[in-house]
Structure 1
């Protein structure tokens, strides 16, 4: 198998402009078959535009896109049979039952998954005869996933698939993604849940202002921070960041939403000095905790804001 054959998705120099606005600014991607790759970024970063071009829903201004060695310009009918997608919002027919909806979608494909298998995969067996309009939000989202999987796609695109889901539905969706990867399918996921990205994704691509600013495994990207631990503290009055930054083992110090976050290499060296500095400034400690670094720390470091904030802005 050549390197070309191993790639499910190949993107070179992808650019998309809307008038004077450049939404995607020269993105390159190589996604291997059987891989789950997460695209992360703040609102307006260009994630959804990139995914919509890969899905054939938008055309690129310039650049090259290949899926499964094929191009949308010349192979659209074949590609439509080989990809699946769940969008951020899926319009469903409220009057149909779950089973009728799944059966309808399987009829669109030459080699669909069985209706029974699809309903079981998304754990909707008990709701098979329920009308779609009566389903909860989480159940509708799981149904949308079943519809995206109806054609047994080689590549599945999931655009923020678990937004607003209850914990049980989120876990059910995570299980489905794990099963797809085990069958050699490729999954491209956009999400603003960092735990989801860490659990599901083999590799991450972080996009900001239409460009890739980091890529790698979740562990590699977290390690790139150069910190073993994170100290979070609040004090009144709050200590000066400039006095905290030179302390032993401190890699970086930031103030975010009223709380100071310190990334440190060796906790046992940094913590006593930090507490001494707070006390020296006459500060009273209101909160102190330590934890391991997460993807959200990476995100704040690179973009100046948390991915969750970015999602909440969008919801507002």
Structure 2
């Protein structure tokens, strides 16, 4: 046993503390049974397409029957040397001519709708790449698109006066938007707001759900046709259906299909929506859905992306439809 240490004074910063050494790292042992890697599933062989053969055979039989019936009708009419036969032949010619004009109109409508998307795609590429020749091509396409429209005469003349003084691609496209496309945006928002208000009122007072569905579908198709015509498409029936499919795809891609009571409550107010009747709430919901479809239709039909102009805000438009300022 050593003698006890005598008391002494010392400074705290002079004390050295011996810390224990850190423990050595523990190496992980390899797993005894490593997980098996997932391989591609083998391709499953499909059987013979009997359903397609059945549909094709039935379609062929119907086509042959229609051809035989038409041939027999024409022979019978030609065999009759009276006014009934000649009148029937004349009506058949008129029907074929009308059918050809309908097909031509639908083809032109599809081409016009595709032209809007092509112009917008080229404009986005010109802005991204700063391509002046491509921007000039977009300007030329827009000029030919709106040529002959009385409501676009001022914008076309303004564009012709100023486009030669612009050197940059994005500035030229800004001029295109400012003079040609931006003046159409308030009209497009007015079309969407009017359709949404009609849908809200009719579905709020309608006594049957089937009437609601039919009216909402008809009003939305009518709105799509008006928006496409405003921006220069003038679609037919097939082009209108294609536009509806494009709008639905745009809504799904942008993630804006989810419309619920929380959206309506944020726009209108929690207290007011709680006191609304069920039918009035359904009317507001259908109006909000129509508004969302209209905004997506504007995005699809607009021949230029939003450069200087602001995209319509969904909540602001829903509040406008609901009459809340």
TM class by smaller structure: under 0.3
Instruction: Say which one has the larger Rg.
Output: 2
Query: Scaled by the length of structure 1, what TM-score is found?
Result: 0.25
Query: Scaled by the length of structure 2, what TM-score is found?
Result: 0.25
| Higher helix fraction (1 or 2) | 2
| Higher strand fraction (1 or 2) | 1
